[in-house]
Amino acid sequence: MPSALVTGWVCGVCGAAVDISVPFSWRCPNSTSADRRHALRLQQGAEPLRSSGEANPFLGFRRFLAWDGFAAAVGLSDADRAALVADLDARVAAVQGHGFVTTPFARSDALSDALGFTAEGGVWVKDETHNVGGSHKARHLFTILLHLVTAERAGLAPWSSAAERPALAIASCGNAAIAASTLAAAVGWPIRVFVPKSANLHVTKRLGELGAQVVECPRLVSDPPGDPCVHRFREAVAAGAVPFSVQGPENAWCLDGGRTIGWEMAVQLSGLALDRVFVQVGGGAFAACLADGLAMGGLAMGGLAMGGSLPRLHAVQTVSCAPLDRSWQRAQQFGGATAAAQHWAECMWPWELVGDSAADGILDDETYDWLPVLGAMSRSDGSPVVVAEADVLRANELGCASTGIDASATGTAGLAGLLRLHDAVQPDERVAVVFSGIRR
């Protein structure tokens, strides 16, 4: 029987509904190549969040995942669903050296002291650098992979054997690309990674080692505004590739597994209330999922009841590329975040001239999942934060030295937001950041 916890999807722009049993429901049914301004969001039943206690979050929180609801709806038994997660996780471990586990989340006394917090307040750090692929990105992609394998086993896939599988496709030159290629290698699925000509050579070498086909994407004169890697990715998907993407409008199933990071934080805090969360934003799926997960955990209510209010959410971007902050300012002209969906074109468009930053992993020229992030900031009385490059560099130096976590400047960029707003944050406030993205 289908899970009652996740019933399906609804588009936050046009209202189209998609039942949880529908396979390959990557995008809103009304989304087209000419009109991509649609965004599916999950319809979740109201039940208190809890974990089974298993270290793998895809097992511990399985019954809250949309993937589990889909698998139940197409006929997989409860035992078969648990076994599938365990099987794929073992395959990931064979490639990575370990599978998915609950990552650490604790107060950093050294960082809290360095920033002048009292004993009642402080900075809690979630360390994702030892997750699969070295960041949080694999959380988003694992539920897409589970969906694909489930559809295969249920006889719903249009291909008849593994040899006929269409290639996976992703536009990324960093953590998402490595996470995607790691998962693809685990199940022997072909993958094409669309990267800019300036891609990090250490990253592209690792992608090759994982068996990915790396496709360089120079900007073409005929290209419309936006990332040429995304343009080539979309062309590949139109030709039959599977969107193995961490951008919700391209594959909404990435918004399912990404929520596990917020769920872990809720359980790890055991009812301790947070006041603020600073999260680095590139494409926006990370912030959207973190906010969704925290809302289910009800952190600001000091408990785990569904529907609790959020800590103040601050989405952090750099001066080199800040389309989310611009969309926030523009949305105020149309009535705020609740009205933004009907004014997508006026609020979100590609950043005209992307600059350089040590936090290069958040220089997405569009915040693809901007709508749920704007909504979460509005509901929580949060705000976007635009940081200077000096903030980015200081955050990385201070964050790594204080915690001993070897994170990249992208991975510590959320802390840069706290540094920028430091004078507005009271010393007894409890603040959370996520260090995601190991230094490469």
Residue-wise pLDDT for 345-357, tens only, equals 999 999 998 999 9
pTM for this model (two decimals): 0.95
Find how far residue 237's CA is from the centre of its chain: 20
Nearest to 318 by CA among 198, 410, 229: 410
CATH classification (class only), 105-135+258-435: alpha beta
Residue 119 reports pLDDT greater than 70: yes
Give the C-alpha separation, 338 to 212, whole Å.
40
Residues near 181 by Cβ (< 8 Å), separated by ≥ 6? 191, 193, 206, 207, 210, 211, 212
Mean pLDDT of 307-320: 86
Q: Write out the two tokens for 291.
A: 């906010």
pLDDT at residue 5, rounded to an integer: 81
The band of 328, judged by pLDDT with boundaries at 50, 70 and 90, is very high
Q: What is the pLDDT of residues 198-232, one digit of tens each?
A: 888 889 999 999 999 999 999 999 999 999 999 99
- Tell whether the torsion through CA atoms of 329, 335, 338 and 339 is positive or negative: negative
Architecture of domain 6-96+137-254: 3-Layer(aba) Sandwich (3.40)
Mean pLDDT of 137-166: 95
Q: Write out the two tokens for 214.
A: 């790396």
pLDDT at residue 145, rounded to an integer: 98
Are 340 and 374 contacting, i.e. CB atoms less than 8 angstroms apart?
A: yes
Mean pLDDT of 8-35: 96
What does the longest C-alpha to C-alpha distance in the chain come to? 61
HEC readout, the chain = CCCCCEEEEEECCCCCEEECCCCCCCCCCCCCCCCCCCCEEEEECCCCCCCCCCCCHHHHCHHHCHHHHHHHHCCCCHHHHHHHHHHHHHHHHHHHCCCCCCCCEEECHHHHHHCCCCCCCEEEEEECCCCHHHCCHHHHHHHHHHHHHHHHHCCCCCCCCHHHCCCEEEECCCHHHHHHHHHHHHHCCCEEEEECCCCCHHHHHHHHHCCCEEEECCCCCCCCCCCHHHHHHHHHHHCCCEECCCCCCCCCCHHHHCCHHHHHHHHHHCCCCCCEEEEECCCCHHHHHHHHHHHHHCHHHCCCCCCCCCCEEEEEEECCECHHHHHHHHHHHHCCHHHHHHHHHHHCCCCCCCCCCCCHHHCCCCCCCHHHHHHHHHHCCCEEEEECHHHHHHHHHHHHHHHCCCECCCCCHHHHHHHHCHHHCCCCCEEEEEECCECC
pLDDT at residue 105, rounded to an integer: 97
Residue 304 reports pLDDT greater than 70: no
Instruction: Name the average pLDDT for the chain.
Output: 94
Give the C-alpha separation, 44 to 34, whole Å.
30
pLDDT at residue 302, rounded to an integer: 42
Rounded to whole angstroms, what are the CA distances from 426 to 124, 342, 379, 388?
15, 36, 21, 22
Are 340 and 258 contacting, i.e. CB atoms less than 8 angstroms apart?
A: no
Residue 299 reports pLDDT greater than 50: no
pLDDT at residue 303, rounded to an integer: 42
- CA atoms in the 13 A half-sphere facing the CB of 133: 27
Q: What is the pLDDT of residues 374-427, one digit of tens each?
A: 999 999 999 999 999 999 999 999 999 999 999 999 999 999 999 999 999 999
Residues pairing with 314 in the sheet:
278, 383
Residues near 435 by Cβ (< 8 Å), separated by ≥ 6? 125, 126, 127, 128, 129, 399, 403, 405, 407, 411, 412, 414, 415
pLDDT at residue 372, rounded to an integer: 97
Residue ranges of the domains in the chain?
Answer: 6-96+137-254, 105-135+258-435
pLDDT at residue 47, rounded to an integer: 77
Residue 29 reports pLDDT greater than 80: yes
Domains 6-96+137-254 and 105-135+258-435 share a fold: yes
pLDDT at residue 4, rounded to an integer: 53
Mean pLDDT of 141-167: 95
Give the C-alpha separation, 267 to 136, whole Å.
18
pLDDT at residue 103, rounded to an integer: 97
The band of 309, judged by pLDDT with boundaries at 50, 70 and 90, is low
Question: Which has the minimum average pLDDT: 52-56, 267-271, 294-298, 407-411?
Answer: 294-298
Are 196 and 228 contacting, i.e. CB atoms less than 8 angstroms apart?
A: yes
Question: Which has the minimum average pLDDT: 154-163, 243-252, 296-305?
Answer: 296-305
Residue 306 reports pLDDT greater than 50: no
- Tell whether the torsion through CA atoms of 366, 370, 373 and 375 is positive or negative: positive
Question: Which has the minimum average pLDDT: 47-51, 261-265, 328-332, 365-369?
Answer: 47-51
pLDDT at residue 6, rounded to an integer: 87
pLDDT at residue 300, rounded to an integer: 38
Residues pairing with 431 in the sheet:
123, 276
